[in-house]
Amino acid sequence: MNMVEKAGDKSSRERWVEYKSTFSKQSRDYLFNHHFSVVENSAVKVSSALPNTRYVDIDDLKQEGSIGLMSAIESYDLDRGIKFEAYARPRVVGK
């Protein structure tokens, strides 16, 4: 059973608190997989906004977005009251 399948055993807030207190790889991987849809959605939007004469592989966009997602996970402050998706999106798209 992977981490995504175990998602029901802890709340999202508990996962963030666990990661910020222990910086465990398991918690980080769970948060990354749980929020990867931000990367996928952003990659599709960027890809579809490019002119037809400009081809960029969507996997390349996802790879760059993954770097931004990891950066967002590492720097996110749960106590600031900002939804993670709103915090992560500019980092995922490279702004």
Q: Is the pTM of this model over 0.85?
A: no
The rounded distance, in Å, linking the Cα atoms of 49 and 10 is 37
The rounded distance, in Å, linking the Cα atoms of 55 and 48 is 10
**pLDDT at 9 (0 to 100):** 62
**How many residues are given for the chain?**
95
The rounded distance, in Å, linking the Cα atoms of 84 and 32 is 11
Distances (CA, A) of 17 to 28, 42, 48, 76, 86: 11, 26, 36, 11, 19
Residue 2 pLDDT more than 50? no
Q: What is the pLDDT of residues 8-58, one digit of tens each?
A: 467 888 999 999 999 999 999 999 999 999 999 999 999 888 887 677 889
